[in-house]
Amino acid sequence: MDFEFDQTTEDLRARVRDFLDAEITPAEQVFEEQLSALDDPWAWSTVPVFEELKEKAKTAGLWNLFLPGDKGAGLTNLQYAPLAEITGRSFLAPAVFNCAAPDTGNMEVLNEFGSPQQQEQWLKPLLRGEIRSSFAMTEPDVASSDATNISMRIERDGGDYVINGRKWWITGAMNPEARIFIVMGKTDPSAERHRQQSQILVPRDTPGLIVKRGMEVFGYDDHDHGGHAELEFHDVRVPAGNLIAGEGMGFAIAQARLGPGRIHHCMRSIGLAERAIELMCERADSRVSFGRPLADQGVVRDWIAQSRVRIEQLRLLVLKTAWLMDTVGNKGAHSEIQAIKIVTPETVQWILDKAIQLHGAAGLSQDFPLAKAYAGIRTLRFADGPDEVHIASLARSELRRQRG
Amino acid sequence: MDFEFDQTTEDLRARVRDFLDAEITPAEQVFEEQLSALDDPWAWSTVPVFEELKEKAKTAGLWNLFLPGDKGAGLTNLQYAPLAEITGRSFLAPAVFNCAAPDTGNMEVLNEFGSPQQQEQWLKPLLRGEIRSSFAMTEPDVASSDATNISMRIERDGGDYVINGRKWWITGAMNPEARIFIVMGKTDPSAERHRQQSQILVPRDTPGLIVKRGMEVFGYDDHDHGGHAELEFHDVRVPAGNLIAGEGMGFAIAQARLGPGRIHHCMRSIGLAERAIELMCERADSRVSFGRPLADQGVVRDWIAQSRVRIEQLRLLVLKTAWLMDTVGNKGAHSEIQAIKIVTPETVQWILDKAIQLHGAAGLSQDFPLAKAYAGIRTLRFADGPDEVHIASLARSELRRQRG
Amino acid sequence: MDFEFDQTTEDLRARVRDFLDAEITPAEQVFEEQLSALDDPWAWSTVPVFEELKEKAKTAGLWNLFLPGDKGAGLTNLQYAPLAEITGRSFLAPAVFNCAAPDTGNMEVLNEFGSPQQQEQWLKPLLRGEIRSSFAMTEPDVASSDATNISMRIERDGGDYVINGRKWWITGAMNPEARIFIVMGKTDPSAERHRQQSQILVPRDTPGLIVKRGMEVFGYDDHDHGGHAELEFHDVRVPAGNLIAGEGMGFAIAQARLGPGRIHHCMRSIGLAERAIELMCERADSRVSFGRPLADQGVVRDWIAQSRVRIEQLRLLVLKTAWLMDTVGNKGAHSEIQAIKIVTPETVQWILDKAIQLHGAAGLSQDFPLAKAYAGIRTLRFADGPDEVHIASLARSELRRQRG
Amino acid sequence: MDFEFDQTTEDLRARVRDFLDAEITPAEQVFEEQLSALDDPWAWSTVPVFEELKEKAKTAGLWNLFLPGDKGAGLTNLQYAPLAEITGRSFLAPAVFNCAAPDTGNMEVLNEFGSPQQQEQWLKPLLRGEIRSSFAMTEPDVASSDATNISMRIERDGGDYVINGRKWWITGAMNPEARIFIVMGKTDPSAERHRQQSQILVPRDTPGLIVKRGMEVFGYDDHDHGGHAELEFHDVRVPAGNLIAGEGMGFAIAQARLGPGRIHHCMRSIGLAERAIELMCERADSRVSFGRPLADQGVVRDWIAQSRVRIEQLRLLVLKTAWLMDTVGNKGAHSEIQAIKIVTPETVQWILDKAIQLHGAAGLSQDFPLAKAYAGIRTLRFADGPDEVHIASLARSELRRQRG
């Protein structure tokens, strides 16, 4: 047992952190200004400074760090996890390093399951950061916690597939640069429960695909990373070659993307929490109330100490989960993957709430990143199903384990 | 001891509820549409359907219910409290009945402390619902929990007062129809601690008064009730007759407005919580997950039962506080006024969080009123100072009381 | 609506409080010493000072205050409730006033359902405080939250009933002075679900009734009020005249005793919480840590303020419940009776935990009443079934109510 | 980074666990019976079965595992930590392996700081498990969170030291077999703050040393491991050679013992929590309520899942702390040592409370180990000072760290 990162990881941590501090953080406000000057507020990825940052990141060799194998940086989950934490400190950072969801998951899927032609057409420009993408799974009328509930139909018709149904909360899809959607639907409702679903590639401009509206989270439309779209599919027709990995593989593909995605989300959330703790400490030191700095007040100290204690425990669990994925595989890490899904949003939300409270009403406003961060983390308590589903499932595993 | 409302109250409760159900709720969406069609999105009070509703409320005798004495409905705090609860169910209702903050507090102040001329010029149109108003107290650079911290200067210069300084979170002030601001500042920094402040009337269009920007709360700009403005005062000059009740009276006036305002806020919050419980039950009954309605799931039942238990306790404490204000005065009710300030936002926030969780991601979106309600309630934990200040103060009272 | 106690109540509150302060509190330690000098440690009610106190209470007219009607003090639930709160301040007080559970419930049952002969033989000496009693309902092998689960058999055999089965957690039954047990069992397992049970009087010395052992709570055997016995019934035979109110009436009788008992328990718990707040404030004022009295520390203030806020809300809900029982009956107060069952133990336990924390390890020891109080309150979370059962039931009521 | 135990650790884990299951657990009840048959209930270490178990443990090579260096098993903190977890599963296990507090801390102190004569006279019989010992630091009248508060006087008088003062909560000291006490007191109140204290060896039978009474925790006197004594020292005289490591070294010695002791306590607490989770799962599977096993109920699943998630995080933090102590020393692990002190009792207490709740009233009784475990864990929230002191201190470290 050893709690030190290896040398490769330490080197990359230093380089990613330096790049973040030197290049990305100073550019955040420029990005905001250039974004608000766009004609289409959703087209965030066309903002000039973002393009410049991407080029710098490529040049610095900090590109596609998330992707294992020879097309990416070739890092293990445990090696990439602490880098994801650092990128969580800035809303802009993940995309600058081409490590932003949902593109990362989509690239993983195409890398692992895509046909040579699919990889040529879609994976390559994604890896180069030239286009964006979305993953269309969640549906308005069914509990999205269970992939087998999917109601969207994908039906074979000659050399094509025809797609009908509705999706919502499709992150990134309001951005016109999101050129390609990976869509989850049912090809065979009569098949065995986990073999009914398939995933298929649908280019944005396919006739019948309507991007209906952006969903808001609290009052944010999240246009700075492409929003969350409601989509309608009316007889959307694509060639049969767009199906990924064959009919009935949809559930298996979805499972495969889950593990790494959770590590990324959790570690970025931890980075956010660390940022919040820093802001808390700065505020506690600088603000005086009733004659004493906030840092001297017992309740404030309680928040700071509890935040530190919680985040330390959480990070270790996420890192251990990454290590398990690397050593015994996603299946062997199943309980841990569930555990970090349950505890990360809850922990980080608690810390953000305290950080907000310490900042007074300003903490809720556009003057600090805290309220927006809170909104984002709050959505994680529903991502891939609400907390309660994961809690029940983890309890079932525990009960089974105890029965021996 | 008797827990029944008197007959006057019961009659009014029925009439207010009927009016809300018959007139206001159906008009909410119309209001939204007409509001989004305005040239100036902040001018919410010019929306046609709102004007119609006000006329109907006047005709129905449901007007200025909050105001004691012969200029208003003449109700006690205990009689008005349950009516405020009902209006909390709709974001539109308080204003329709001319019972919306900050106009209510401003009318109370002018009614109690205003000169005949001030009443003629500003109170009358406010009572008729013809203009709106704001109350400018909170400042960006000082802890607003303590009125004696105020840094804005109000200086006598001949027959005028000249005002300099900054304010923020001035609710309603983005609306151009907010014609008059009651402004809190210091006339004599060398006076005794609670005699340094004064309140003064400043018409919106006075030269030197700049409405700089709207503050956002979790992404909401709250333009549907005039937002929360940051204001700058550069040598703003008003006649000496605009001072309310004499120099040095600012703190006393602020204290006087506190008590009733808290009752109103708390009861409206309770109304909101009741609405959230209704939505929770509807959702629990209608949504099926893993083969059973949510209503059958233990965790959901826990949320519903706890919500009911908490809100029942809270309402009784707020009503008792209103009763104390009526029988022994605001001073005698001081600890209770503090107690409801502490516990109401916390309780209602908890209920809203559970209601959101039960609705899935939709609960965070524009499709339900829950996230917006959460944002509003969250700000109450800072209104008139953060929770922690009130908690410390209540503890001091308790310690004093116990010492005998 | 009116939050003032009536004059009768205020007079009695003063007299009960004076008696407690003048007579009972000073006698507590004498009681402990005399109790530890007894040959049989369980025979607490034979302690001499206890006999003296009872006589004084009778003389002072503070006797059987709990009992409505002409055999008792004739108070309403709302009038008695604040008196119960006062008696909760001392572990000795309820019994001194002949207002201690389970005798109170047993007297209520005999008063309402007992035959003249049963009243003559058992109610009279109980009302005079000459004997003690127990109520034997809970069983080891079934969930006691549901009276219909009872497995004890009561079978008719000629002019007798014969009883077989086990009971545990029978409070008071270790005391040899507990002369009579009211026993709940099944007379007709084939009857309709709520008509299977009967209650029957079983004198302590009936052959076949074995008092097996005392159950402990956190290490306390509670011998100072008769402990909690495990009982075995082996062909225990009593005359048919011992049955209370007829076969099949067991469930109805159990329901009737529930309401008032809950009010008593909750109000006594509130009295205990008030005592804990006093101890907290005394400790906070007198103990210095790191150069400042504990009373100056933010976390301590938070505990004190939160305790005050919670207990005020709780008391109002319990009082309202008592008022409902007086005005619309136990059935009409059903949801409230459940609500106070859920929230009282949780609230008081929280306060006791903070009071303990403020006292350091001493708070857990025999030097303060806090740990023992905590243990007692903790058991309330199981009394008449665990919290979770009541929560689920209250949620069902709420869902039904909302459906209209 | 690597989350696997090394081979030595894995081997020992298996052997300790096997010994526990095969030898200790079956002997627990025998121990209880033999203990209750003793003339002196405090002399727990004279129970025959305990002597037999110790011999078996020695023979099995599972002896003094806690002690680094050649007098003990020579394990690192990280290697010993998981063994301590296993011993936490049985109240008897730590002593059987000669790994029970406070003997472990006393042996560490004598091993590191004792003179050859002190080691000969006291360390050797302790290492052989022939005698027991106590550590007398906490005092009734001062906040024991700060070692510099100590008021006991140790004064040089010729070739002796003379000791006066009071101590309480001295664990193990009620046992007459606790032959030697390490006593902390002040030799020079005028010295620099951390150089005033010394530690000195005081044999139990020294004249003037009075073992006054046993402190209780909830209702437990903990006689099964020697209770918690209140001690009085009246002119207690010991030879100067009994002083450990020289005058003024008391604080430094206390600090040195802190780190390993916390790891042991925390890991044993985790073992206890694991035992509680097992009991929870067994109960959830075996108990039926309202027609379904408890394991099917949402609230129960929530408790089980949350327990698992919390304990996994906690264990990783404790193990990392042990690793830090091994790699950068106790000083470098200071914040982590504080963090685990804060979070372990809170986490384990939460789990025990849920386990109790799942067992109904039986969970509070002598029929399950849960209530007693709860009482023990509750005291940890005061050990070496209350939670609040450690929280404030950790917050100060964090604020310092963030200031850079």
Q: What is the CATH number of the domain that holds D222?
A: 2.40.110.10
B305 lies within 8 A of chain D by CB: no
| Domain presence at residue C165 | yes
Q: Quick one: pLDDT at residue C145?
A: 67
Do residues A387 and A289 both lie within one domain? Answer: yes
Q: Do D375 and C364 touch (CB under 8 A)?
A: yes
B206 lies within 8 A of chain D by CB: no
Q: Do D300 and B297 touch (CB under 8 A)?
A: no
CATH number at residue D36: 1.10.540.10
SS3 D383: coil
Do residues A66 and A209 both lie within one domain? Answer: no
Q: Do B298 and C6 touch (CB under 8 A)?
A: no
C296 lies within 8 A of chain A by CB: no
Nearest C-alpha in B relative to D296 = B298
Q: Which helix (H) or strand (E) holds B301?
A: helix B298-332
- Of A1, A302, A323, nearest to D323 by CB-CB distance is A1
CB B170 within 8 A of CB B181: yes
| Domain presence at residue B370 | yes
Q: How many domains would you assign to chain D?
A: 3
Q: Which residues of chain C have pLDDT under 70?
A: 144-145
| Domain presence at residue D2 | no
How far apart CA C394 and CA D21 sit, in angstroms, is 44
**Long-range Cβ pairs for the range D26-29 (8 Å, 24+):** D27/D53, D27/D92, D28/D90, D28/D91, D28/D92
Q: Do A298 and D392 touch (CB under 8 A)?
A: yes
Nearest C-alpha in D relative to A301 = D395
CB D169 within 8 A of CB D142: no
Do residues C208 and C333 both lie within one domain? Answer: no
Question: Which runs of E-coded beta strand occur in C247-380?
Answer: 288-289, 292-293
| Domain presence at residue A1 | no
Supply the ipTM of this predicted assembly.
Answer: 0.96
| Domain presence at residue B1 | no
* Residues from chain D contacting residue C145 (CB–CB below 8 Å): 289
Q: Quick one: pLDDT at residue A145?
A: 67
B357 lies within 8 A of chain D by CB: no
Q: Do C217 and D215 touch (CB under 8 A)?
A: no
Of A127, A146, A169, the residue at which a domain comes to its end is: A127
Question: Which runs of E-coded beta strand occur in D286-346?
Answer: 288-289, 292-293
SS3 B156: strand
How far apart CA B349 and CA A194 sit, in angstroms, is 39
CB D190 within 8 A of CB D269: no
Q: What are the 10-residue block averages of pLDDT along chain B, 404 residues in total?
A: 98 98 97 97 98 98 96 96 98 98 98 98 98 96 76 97 97 98 97 96 98 98 97 98 97 91 97 98 90 90 97 98 96 95 97 96 97 97 86 94 91
Q: C275: Cβ–Cβ under 8 A, 6 or more apart, which residues?
A: C88, C89, C369, C373
D383 lies within 8 A of chain A by CB: no
C375 lies within 8 A of chain D by CB: yes
What's the pLDDT tens digit per position in D272-311?
999 999 999 999 999 888 788 999 999 999 999 999 999 9
- Interface size between B and C, measured as CB pairs under 8 A: 142
* Residues from chain C contacting residue A293 (CB–CB below 8 Å): none
Do residues B350 and B382 both lie within one domain? Answer: yes
* Pick from A316, A323, A392: nearest CA to A347: A316
- CB-facing half-sphere around the CA of A352: CA atoms within 13 A: 25
Output the six-digit token pair for B31: 């209001």
β partners of residue A17: none
- Of A215, A356, A381, nearest to B365 by CB-CB distance is A215
- For residue A350, the enclosing domain spans 251-403
Query: What phi, psi does B47 have (nearest 5°)?
Result: -65, 130
Neighbours of chain C (3+ CB pairs under 8 A): A, B, D
| Domain presence at residue D195 | yes
Q: Quick one: pLDDT at residue A259?
A: 87
Q: Do B215 and A375 touch (CB under 8 A)?
A: no
CATH number at residue D286: 1.20.140.10
* Most D-contacting residue of B296, B299, B301 (CB-CB within 10 A), to test interface: B299
Output the six-digit token pair for C387: 């919290």
C116 lies within 8 A of chain A by CB: no
Q: Do C302 and A300 touch (CB under 8 A)?
A: no
Q: How long is chain A?
A: 404
**How open is the CA angle C45-C50-C54, to the nearest 5 degrees?**
105
Q: Which residues of chain A have pLDDT under 50?
A: none
Of C105, C127, C149, the residue at which a domain comes to its end is: C127
Q: What are the 10-residue block averages of pLDDT along chain D, 404 residues in total?
A: 98 98 97 97 98 98 96 96 98 98 97 98 98 96 76 97 97 98 97 96 98 98 97 98 97 91 97 98 90 90 97 98 96 95 97 96 97 97 86 94 91
Do residues A17 and A147 both lie within one domain? Answer: no
- Of A304, A316, A395, nearest to D399 by CB-CB distance is A304
A294 lies within 8 A of chain D by CB: no
* Residues from chain D contacting residue A324 (CB–CB below 8 Å): 3
Do residues A208 and A261 both lie within one domain? Answer: no
Give the distance from residue A354's alpha carbon to the nearest chain D alpha carbon, in angstroms.
14
Do residues B90 and B200 both lie within one domain? Answer: no
* Residues from chain B contacting residue C339 (CB–CB below 8 Å): 308-309, 312
| Domain presence at residue B262 | yes
| Domain presence at residue B2 | no
Give the distance from residue C4's alpha carbon to the nearest chain D alpha carbon, in angstroms.
38
**How open is the CA angle C250-C253-C254, to the nearest 5 degrees?**
85
What's the pLDDT tens digit per position in B122-147?
999 999 999 999 999 999 987 766 77
Do residues D123 and D137 both lie within one domain? Answer: no
* Most C-contacting residue of B316, B318, B320, B321 (CB-CB within 10 A), to test interface: B316
* Most A-contacting residue of B222, B289, B374, B393 (CB-CB within 10 A), to test interface: B289
Q: Do D218 and C218 touch (CB under 8 A)?
A: yes
- Of A284, A298, A343, nearest to D399 by CB-CB distance is A284
Nearest C-alpha in D relative to A336 = D309
CB B380 within 8 A of CB B265: yes
Per residue, the 3-state secondary structure of B104-122, as one string, reads: HHHHHHHHHHCCHHHHHHH
Nearest C-alpha in A relative to C295 = A298
* Residues from chain B contacting residue C1 (CB–CB below 8 Å): 2-6, 9, 78, 319, 323
Q: Do C324 and B392 touch (CB under 8 A)?
A: no
Q: Do D144 and C360 touch (CB under 8 A)?
A: yes
* Residues from chain B contacting residue A137 (CB–CB below 8 Å): none
Give the distance from residue D300's alpha carbon to the nearest chain B alpha carbon, in angstroms.
9
Output the six-digit token pair for C260: 């008032």
SS3 A198: strand
What's the pLDDT tens digit per position in A145-203?
677 789 999 999 999 999 999 999 999 999 999 999 999 999 999 999 999 999 999 99
- Of A5, A281, A306, nearest to D1 by CB-CB distance is A5
Do residues A261 and A398 both lie within one domain? Answer: yes
Specify the residue for token string 């199981």: C382
B177 lies within 8 A of chain A by CB: no
* Residues from chain A contacting residue B146 (CB–CB below 8 Å): 290
Q: Do A365 and B217 touch (CB under 8 A)?
A: yes
Q: Quick one: pLDDT at residue D312?
A: 98
Do residues D279 and D398 both lie within one domain? Answer: yes
Indicate the DSSP class of residue C6. Answer: P
* Residues from chain B contacting residue A382 (CB–CB below 8 Å): 360-361, 364
Q: Do A299 and C300 touch (CB under 8 A)?
A: no
CA A189 to chain centre: 29
What's the pLDDT tens digit per position in A304-347?
999 999 999 999 999 999 999 999 999 999 999 999 999 999 99
Q: Do B388 and A299 touch (CB under 8 A)?
A: yes
Q: Do A302 and C300 touch (CB under 8 A)?
A: no
Do residues C347 and C304 both lie within one domain? Answer: yes
Do residues B164 and B54 both lie within one domain? Answer: no
Give the distance from residue B107's alpha carbon to the nearest chain A alpha carbon, in angstroms.
25
Q: Do B360 and A216 touch (CB under 8 A)?
A: no
Residue B345 one-letter amino acid: P
Of A103, A127, A151, the residue at which a domain comes to its end is: A127
Q: Do A361 and B382 touch (CB under 8 A)?
A: yes
* Pick from D150, D145, D129, D142: nearest CA to D55: D129
D361 lies within 8 A of chain C by CB: yes
Q: Do C305 and B1 touch (CB under 8 A)?
A: no
Residue A188 one-letter amino acid: D
